[in-house]
Amino acid sequence: MPSTFYNPPVNVESVSSVTATPSVQLGAVRMEAGDSYIYVYNTGSSTAGVGRGVIISACTGYSVTVSSVTNIGGFFGVVKHTAIPTGSYGWVLTRGFTPVVAGATAIVSGGGLEVGVDGAFVHGAGTNTSVIQGYCVTATAAGGTGYGYVRCFGA
């Protein structure tokens, strides 16, 4: 019987690994260098690129998609290391430091990070239809890639 954290299979695979077939059980969690990760399947129609958040898209199997809507809900995790194409499996960061892609507007250091369109991040609008999931620690222009600390729903 595996342990709660599925350590034996998880520790033989890099958190950068992306595969067409699952290498560990979906929903497996792990820590690596202070960051928390969860293993997911990209069931969306678009590749989840590095620095983009993903949202849960199905009630089973930890299926995710990058097709988020600005200021609605929140991210389940963030793609930190390697893009996860459609129909592929990989690790998303759920708590820790990660690159973050800005949406249609710039993000600034110290500002809160919330869900934007298609996996991008925006600052909070104070509308209460989305949650603040962390800080921007390195600013970037609109569409650029900055850096942030996040705690997503998957944590």
Partner 1 sequence: MSGGNFNNGAVMFESVSAVTATPTIQIGARTTINGEDYLYVYNGGADTATKDHGVIITAMTGYTISLQSTTGVVGFIGLVKHADIPAASYGWVMTRGFGQAMSPATVSLTTGEPHCAGASGVFSPFTGTQTAAVNGFIINGCVSGATADVYFSGF
| Residue ranges binding partner 1 (CB under 8 A) | 5, 7, 11, 30-34, 95-97, 110-112, 123-126, 128, 131-135, 137-138, 147, 149-151
Give me the least distance between CB of 150 and partner 1, in Å please.
Answer: 7
Query: Among residues 52 and 95, whose Cβ is nearest to partner 1?
Result: 95
Complete DSSP assignment for 22-79: -SS-TT-EEEETTEEEEEEEE-SSS-B-TT-EEEE--SSTTEEES---TTSB--SEE-
Query: Among residues 65 and 133, whose Cβ is nearest to partner 1?
Result: 133
Query: Among residues 62 and 97, whose Cβ is nearest to partner 1?
Result: 97
Under a CB-based contact definition with an 8 Å cutoff, are residues 94 and 127 in contact?
Answer: no
Give me the least distance between CB of 134 and partner 1, in Å please.
Answer: 5
* 96: nearest Cα among 13, 4, 24, 34: 34
